Amino acid sequence: MHDPTIGFIGAGNMAGAIIDGMLASGFPADRIWICDRNEDKRQAFDHKGLHATADNATLIRACDIVVLAVKPQALKSVVEPLASEFKARNPLVVSVAAGVTAESIDRWIGGGFAIVRTMPNTPALVMTGSTGLYANARVSDGEKGAVESIFSGIGTAVWVDREDDLHAVTAASGSAPAYFFRFMEAMQKAAEAQGLDAATASALIAQTALGAAKMVQETGESPAELRRKVCSPKGTTEQAILSFERDDIDAVVARAMEACHHRSIELSKALAD
Ligand SMILES: NC(=O)C1=CN([C@@H]2O[C@H](COP(=O)(O)OP(=O)(O)OC[C@H]3O[C@@H](n4cnc5c(N)ncnc54)[C@H](OP(=O)(O)O)[C@@H]3O)[C@@H](O)[C@H]2O)C=CC1
Ligand SMILES: O=C(O)[C@@H]1CCC=N1
């Protein structure tokens, strides 16, 4: 696909993060369309130089790639009435919706479509997103390349061969920014309780999170090795890590990720019809 025009049905948190990342990576604004039912969101994207419409059919007619970015529970009712438009335009369909299978989407819009299911995450906004991608059998190599270049332009993009693996991708990266934010919220409360002012605590914690992630990516050392290098024998860090171990941090995290994985499977079953 050469210089495709791409349209987002639903311009909320996730589409907004992807679009802002695409703009920052140099994707031309005039090749991006959004459709949202909220006037304020349409205006915000219009001001960035995108095409903004309240009519999904207009977007489909204009776009080579149509990204479905409404809530999973809303997806069927949004796309089913658009089946004739999808048939006439035959775009590459890309979904970011958690849980909803490619087969369900294909059936709702009339059947026979090339569909890429993705599981992105919101750090796409700052071009450090992580996206899992799955293509159904109708997606050509050229189409795969076009989608991959969009998502790799805003972070890391990884293909999975089995659609079911997207449940695990959701638990490992799609939902995972929220885990780290929650951990940082807890650290912020504790640091303030120990006497730091809010701004100082927030600056130190955010920079530490960034530094830790960069060390894992750039040193080639495992998180366990890097952790050991911070823990001086009989020092301060050791006491914090021992406290986590007493609270069975592995089990706490495993339960949370299992709950996320389970919900993704539950959604795919509940929304299949
Ligand atoms: N947020 C995240 O971190 C991630 C989200 N996802 C997936 O992304 C999808 C979107 O999530 P998110 O961005 O958080 O949700 P949002 O609610 O922020 O965005 C969806 C947008 O679509 C609008 N919308 C609803 N119906 C229509 C319609 N008929 N036509 C046009 N626009 C419509 C909504 O309007 P209104 O608000 O009025 O309903 C809203 O502005 C979901 O399927 C989710 O599973 C995937 C990975 C990560
Ligand atoms: O919470 C959700 O369902 C969406 C999908 C992954 C991240 N946010």
Question: Could you report the per-residue pLDDT of 94-113, keeping only the tens digit for each?
Answer: 999 999 999 999 999 999 99
Q: Spell out the SS3 assignment of 172-228.
A: HHHCHHHHHHHHHHHHHHHHHHCCCCHHHHHHHHHHHHHHHHHHHHHHCCCHHHHHH
Alpha helices (H) along the chain = 13-24, 39-47, 56-62, 72-79, 83-89, 102-108, 141-152, 165-169, 176-193, 198-219, 223-230, 236-246, 249-270
Does ipTM surpass 0.95 in this model?
yes
* Per-residue pLDDT at 37: 96
Which of 9, 20, 33, 36 to mutate for ligand 1's pocket (most ligand atoms within 8 Å of CB)?
A: 36
Sheet holding 92-95, edge to edge: 51-53, 32-35, 6-9, 65-68, 92-95, 115-119, 129-135, 155-159
The answer to whether the annotation marks 72 as part of a ligand binding site is yes
Residue nearest to atom 1 of ligand 2 (CA): 175
* Per-residue pLDDT at 2: 82
* Per-residue pLDDT at 19: 96
Residues 6+ apart with CB under 8 A from 84: 110
* Per-residue pLDDT at 65: 98
* Intervals of the chain under pLDDT 50: none
For the CA of 260, the nearest ligand: 2
* Per-residue pLDDT at 1: 79
Sign of the dihedral defined by the CA atoms of residues 216, 187, 98, 151, in that order: negative
